[in-house]
Structure 1
């Protein structure tokens, strides 16, 4: 039976294996979570000849209002994993850049695609369609068994419930038949999403909730700039528009704070609608008046310190999240999958947990510069784009808009970061302070004044207060000097109670 969505789009079901009598005694990998990261990793590992058990608590097609824009860098990783066809036949739309709106001004910035083939553009789509295509691709790969089941706990080498200081050798999960079953594996990968109940066993997370996204679909509307994301620097916070189908546009309204307005439709009409560009305002109001479904999701920012437990790794939103403003989550997830596959590829098997852990010990180090760049950019841009009423902050906000509007290296540099095509921390910091200095220069023209000088100082202080705490949270040495970071040694990884 196919899964029928509200929009009428059907995908074939995911075959869930219910046969347990042919299970190997120990899987090469158990992957917890069949989202973007889990499905992609399962497919890639199966291609390398590994026996993979992929567990997902719900194999029906997901329905989310985020994860709908894959940046060009993420699509490039998808190609390298052999999964680029998963964006085909789901009515996905190519995305070539962004249109920025502030007050009555607008500007267009393009992805810097020089040196790449024409198909390496961004892709936007219904999130659930994309995830289901990834699951279908994984289900067709040899050596993969997919099961619907709720993972309840991690296991140690003896098959008992895992305790701190022991190796991890698999999981216990409740299968579709309601029976608790054991899956033993040489390596367990946990990527069960933002609501992971296993992350605290493998990391020390710090979670913040800066805002909510309110999602609405506009139907039959033409964007001012086709095949572009549209970012409105509105008050009090950004509004996004981007295509997710031939005749569908996703609108995401950011609502800052940890609580939504009591009367959300009234808030959208009275506070948000006046900030929407004129070209889209009537379509936005029509969607509200016609009873379009209004959906919400709390945004999360999460920094995690990994706990190097032999036999297990943490991936995806279970490990690391940033504000979804820039759509960088799937790029980070797919990049992590490719990096992990490269680290695992030389191993003939995963049966020696110390050798496996030694090969993957620097995974969290090698991923850091790339993921920290995307994380920092997303979290810093969100703070810059939000309206606070502070004059110095508004100068920074205006300077960011004008800087990107200059074109040339002033737009290509930042957009190369956002796209995931050139995620370098040094480039990020350089452009962030070039924006700040550009804003200071505007305050000092046509001639310097005491007021202009004071505002420039406040702007620099404000910029520093935005970016430095974010970089500090990511880890200064890990981001800028990863070769100095300490990775676990074999002695640190060896567990006295380990049983092969």
Structure 2
């Protein structure tokens, strides 16, 4: 039986980050994925600068990851009631197709010494001394980074998110919106609220476009397509595909032991925006760094994740509940429109690891009292 210090199931951003982090401390690392790379992955393709910071800390050159895709320095948000804010973000984001980004990240992990193998994992069995994968590979620590339908998560006995903590989104590619330029566009709606559409420019005249809403709202493919065309009229997407988003409001308690979960497999998807790449690379990096603890890796990883994201995840949980009141969303957008600092706080909460600041809460409350004035 083959033996490895770390086996990573899933070669996406979370898995590649885990492999990179483990290699930095000398681990023998095997990455398993059911697909070869490059391969498409349904996603909004937006990459926050904070995600690139994490990868830079793992020795990856952000410029190489985003090469060919210009910075996207501006974000526009429309609230359910029609309030609009459009401002430059504190640092530009990037929009890189996952077919490109994931292949580049995995190649960086392989260049760092990780081995990649195409394999569909079906069985994971953990014991006190290690983890066996499909009866043929033995790992000291296993990182499950295999997405929303995670086999590793099921092997741990952790079920799927409840419908009110699970979103469904559809995504395709289309010509950029007229006058969109280098602006990420988010449009929310009161119909089947909470729901929103997006258009993220790739820099070549095309944009990643999509629409998502909660499963508990009765989301169907037909409803998603209708929502996309209603909020982005005239859009003509190609290659529409749907995917599920296990939101962090349904995040399970991470287990002790030698099996760790990262990214979508750990329900680390921002409930306000559906953003998951920052969470993926951060949680993957923390999971990969925990492997030397062996049987205590789960505890070490859980504590590291709590220290880094605990306050933020509590804030997004509260904000996601409050945001189900459309008038409050309108007030927050109006507050962001008049105060760059509030705008930056809102963006950090939705795309990185921001908190609910006193400044933003107070400004939103003032706008709520004043109404549309």
TM-score with structure 1 setting the length:
0.64
The alpha-carbon deviation at position 71 of structure 1 amounts to 1.0
Which of structures 1 and 2 has the bigger CA Rg? 1
Matched, 1:129 2:109: no
The aligned residue for residue 285 of structure 2 is: 338
Counterpart of 1:233? 188
**1:371-450 equivalent positions in 2, closer than 5 A:** 371-372=309-310, 375=313, 393-420=325-352, 423=353, 427-428=355-356, 430=358, 433-434=361-362, 436-442=364-370
Does residue 367 of structure 1 match 2:305? yes
Residues 167, 64 of structure 1: alpha-carbon distance in 2 compared, 3 angstrom cutoff = same
State the shift of 1:431 in Å: 5.3
Q: Which of the pair has the greater relative contact order for Cα pairs under 8 Å at 6+ separation? A: 2
Task: Tell me the distance in 2 between the aligned counterparts of 1:358 and 1:431.
Answer: 40
> Gapped runs of 5+ residues in structure 2?
none
Kindly indicate whether the alpha-carbon contact (under 8 Å) linking 1:99 and 1:225 is maintained by their aligned counterparts in 2. Answer: no
Q: 1:92 to 1:205 in 2, by over 3 A?
A: farther
Q: Which runs of 5+ in 1 are unaligned?
A: 1-22, 114-120, 156-161, 174-180, 345-349, 387-392, 447-500
What is residue 171 of structure 2 aligned with on the other side?
215
Contact 1:211 1:256 in 2 (8 A): yes
CA distance in 1, matches of 2:315, 2:141: 32
Q: Secondary structure at the match of 1:293?
A: strand
CA spacing shift, 1:436–1:147, aligned 2, 3 Å: same
Structure 2 CA distance for aligned equivalents of residues 106 and 146 of structure 1: 45
What CA deviation, in whole Å up to 9, does each residue of 1:90-139 have, x standing for no partner? x33422241122466532233224xxxxxxx3221111211111122222
Query: 1:75, 1:123 within 8 Å by CA — same for their partners in 2?
Result: no
Q: Distance in 1 between matches of 2:271 and 2:36?
A: 24
Equivalent in the alignment of 1:146 = 116
Superposed displacement of residue 274, structure 1: 4.8
Q: TM-score scaled to structure 2, two decimals?
A: 0.83
CA distance in 2, matches of 1:274, 1:146: 43
Using the TM superposition, give the Cα deviation of residue 321 of structure 1 relative to its aligned residue in structure 2, in angstroms: 2.9
**Partners in 2 of 1:79 and 1:109 — Cα distance?**
26
Cα deviation per residue 1:209-243 (whole Å; 9 max; x = unaligned)? Answer: 34421223212x35544322111122323211111
Counterpart CA distance in 2 for 1:318 and 1:406 is 38
1:50 aligned counterpart, secondary structure: coil
RMSD, matched Cα: 3.2
CA distance in structure 1 between the aligned counterparts of 2:263 and 2:274, rounded to whole angstroms:
14
Matched residue, 2:243: 297
Q: How does 1:164-179 map to 2 (within 5 A)?
A: 166-167=127-128, 169-173=130-134
Aligned partner of 1:454 in structure 2 is none
SS of the aligned residue for 1:238 comes to strand
Q: Is the Cα–Cα contact under 8 Å of residues 205 and 305 in structure 1 kept in the other structure?
A: no
Out of 157, 181, 187, the residue aligned to residue 141 of structure 2 is 187
SS at match of 2:41: coil
1:364 CA displacement: 0.8
For residues 320-374 of structure 1, what are the alpha-carbon distances to aligned partners after superposition, in whole Å with 9 as ceiling and x for unaligned? 2335653531111222233345555xxxxx4xxxx53446623212312543455
Q: Deviations over 1:382-417 (max 9, x none)?
A: 66666xxxxxx3421220110111123222222233
Asked if the contact 2:210–2:228 (Cα under 8 Å) also holds between the matched residues in 1, the reply is no
Q: Residues 55 and 136 of structure 1: is their aligned pair in 2 closer, same or farther, counting only changes over 3 Å?
A: same
Instruction: Return the alpha-carbon distance in structure 1 between the equivalents of residues 52 and 178 of structure 2.
Output: 23
Q: For 1:385 and 1:224, how far apart are their aligned partners in 2?
A: 29
Aligned pairs, how many? 363
- Separation in 1 of the partners of 2:215 and 2:272? 15
SS at match of 1:428: coil
1:81 maps to which of 55, 58, 61: 58
Aligned to 1:487: none
CA–CA distance in structure 1, aligned partners of residues 313 and 151 of structure 2: 22
Question: Which residue in 1 is equivalent to 2:85?
Answer: 107
Secondary structure at the aligned position of 1:361 is classed as helix
